[in-house]
C-alpha cells in the first residue's frame, strides 16, 4: 500500500515529467544542426582589406570575397568564386591562381605582339621581321614569315614544351615545394618555391629581390594583377583589331593619331 501510494504520489509524477522534458531537450540538442553555409544576407566577413574600394559588389560576393586576395574589389557578378554557388564546380583558389598566371602570359603576349611593329617603325629590326603579330606564322593561313620549320611543326613543338612546363607548374600548385625534390639538370634546389605557388620567388622568378617586406610585396601583387587584367583585355583587343582592320595594333594607333575623325572604332565598324 505504501509503495503504491508512493508511485502514484504528485512528487513521483513531477519527477517523471521533469525526466521526460530532459529527454526531449537532449533529443533536440542532439538532432540540431549548426548552419555551416554562409548566407547571402549575413554580415560579410572582414579579414583583410575591409575598407577596400568595391566595384559592383553584392552581399553575396562579399560573403566569400573578404579582401585577402590581391585585386579583390568584391566584383564577381557570375559567382565564379562562390564555393557554395554557381561557381562551386571550380575551386576558387585555382581560379585566383589561374588569373595571375594568365595575366602574366597576357603581359608577355601583349608586349611581344606589338614589339616587332614598334621596332620595325624605328628601324631597329629588318622589315621582313617587322610584321604584325598575325602574319608571323601563328595563324598558318595568314602567316607570311618563313621559319626553320612549317607552322604546324612549330605548333606541335611549342605544345610539347609548354605542356612540360605547365605540368611542372601544376605539380608545384598541387604540392608546393615538390619541384625541389625532382631532378632538373641540377637546378632543382632553386625551384623549391616559397610555399605560395603563385609567387615562387627565388633567383629564377625574383632575381632582383622585389617585395622584401610584407607591405611592398602586397603593393606589387596588386600592381601585377591590375596590369595582368589590363593585358588580357589588350590581347582581346589585338584579336578584334586584326580581324576588323587587317593591320597590327601599333599601325591602328598611328592611323588614329594621324586622322582621329576617319580612323576610329566607329569608322572601322562601318557605322557611318
Which spans in the chain are helix H?
2-7, 10-31, 59-62, 92-121, 151-174, 202-205, 214-245, 249-258, 265-268
Residue 22 host element (H or E) = helix 10-31
Distance CA(148)–CA(162), nearest Å, equals 19
Q: Report helix, strand or coil for 245.
A: helix
CA dihedral 134, 139, 142, 143 (to 10 degrees): 80
Distance CA(133)–CA(131), nearest Å, equals 6
The predicted model gives 245-255 an average pLDDT of 92
The string of pLDDT tens digits covering residues 147-157 is 788 778 888 89
The predicted model gives 211-215 an average pLDDT of 83
Stated pTM of the model: 0.72
Is the pLDDT at 269 greater than 80? The verdict is no
The string of pLDDT tens digits covering residues 147-184 is 788 778 888 899 999 999 999 888 888 888 888 888 88
Closest by CA position to 48, among listed 62, 66, 60: 66
Q: Which residue has the cell 583558389?
A: 93
Closest by CA position to 128, among listed 145, 115, 113: 145
Is the pLDDT at 237 greater than 90? The verdict is yes
Is the pLDDT at 15 greater than 60? The verdict is no
The string of pLDDT tens digits covering residues 17-75 is 445 444 444 444 333 333 333 333 333 444 444 567 888 888 888 888 888 888 888 88
Distance (Å) of CA 135 to CA 8, 116, 168, 247: 101, 11, 31, 10
Distance CA(201)–CA(177), nearest Å, equals 12
pLDDT, residue 50, reads: 54
Closest by CA position to 108, among listed 232, 192, 243, 236: 232
Distance CA(260)–CA(256), nearest Å, equals 5
Distance (Å) of CA 209 to CA 111, 193, 204: 23, 14, 10
CA dihedral (227, 74, 37, 48) positive or negative: positive
Distance CA(115)–CA(121), nearest Å, equals 10
- Residue 270: which pLDDT band, with cuts at 50, 70 and 90? low
Beta carbons within 10 angstroms of residue 57's beta carbon? 18
Query: What nine digits make up the cell of 34?
Result: 549548426
The string of pLDDT tens digits covering residues 80-127 is 788 776 555 677 888 889 999 999 999 999 999 999 999 999 999 998
Is the pLDDT at 14 greater than 70? The verdict is no
Query: For 38, which DSSP code?
Result: P
pLDDT, residue 253, reads: 93
- Residue 226: which pLDDT band, with cuts at 50, 70 and 90? very high
pLDDT, residue 265, reads: 84
pLDDT, residue 86, reads: 59
Q: Judge whether 76 and 65 are in contact, CB under 8 Å.
A: yes
CA dihedral (89, 91, 97, 101) positive or negative: negative
Is the pLDDT at 272 greater than 50? The verdict is no
Amino acid at each position: 500500500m505504501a509503495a503504491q501510494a508512493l508511485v502514484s504520489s504528485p512528487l513521483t509524477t513531477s519527477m517523471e515529467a521533469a525526466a521526460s522534458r530532459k529527454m526531449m531537450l537532449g533529443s533536440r540538442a542532439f538532432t540540431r544542426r549548426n548552419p555551416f553555409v554562409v548566407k547571402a544576407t549575413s554580415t560579410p566577413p572582414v579579414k583583410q582589406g575591409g575598407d577596400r574600394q568595391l566595384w559592383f559588389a553584392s552581399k553575396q560576393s562579399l560573403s566569400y570575397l573578404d579582401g585577402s586576395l590581391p585585386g579583390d574589389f568584391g566584383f564577381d557578378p557570375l559567382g565564379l568564386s562562390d564555393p557554395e554557388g554557381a561557381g562551386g564546380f571550380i575551386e576558387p583558389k585555382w581560379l585566383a591562381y589561374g588569373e595571375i598566371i594568365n595575366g602574366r602570359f597576357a603581359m608577355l603576349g601583349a608586349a611581344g605582339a606589338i614589339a616587332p611593329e614598334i621596332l620595325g617603325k624605328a628601324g631597329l629590326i629588318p622589315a621582313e621581321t617587322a610584321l604584325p603579330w598575325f602574319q608571323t606564322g601563328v595563324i598558318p593561313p595568314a602567316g607570311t614569315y618563313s621559319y626553320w620549320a612549317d607552322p604546324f611543326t612549330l605548333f606541335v613543338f611549342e605544345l610539347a614544351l609548354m605542356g612540360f612546363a605547365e605540368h611542372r607548374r601544376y605539380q608545384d600548385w598541387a604540392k608546393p615545394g615538390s619541384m625541389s625534390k625532382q631532378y632538373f639538370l641540377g637546378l632543382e634546389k632553386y625551384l623549391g618555391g616559397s610555399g605560395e605557388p603563385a609567387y615562387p620567388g627565388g633567383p629564377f622568378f625574383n632575381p632582383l629581390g622585389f617585395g622584401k617586406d610584407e607591405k611592398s610585396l602586397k603593393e606589387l601583387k596588386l600592381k601585377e594583377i591590375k596590369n595582368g587584367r589590363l593585358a588580357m583585355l589588350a590581347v582581346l583587343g589585338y584579336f578584334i583589331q586584326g580581324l576588323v582592320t587587317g593591320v597590327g595594333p601599333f599601325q591602328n594607333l598611328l592611323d588614329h593619331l594621324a586622322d582621329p575623325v576617319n580612323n576610329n572604332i566607329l569608322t572601322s565598324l562601318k557605322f557611318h
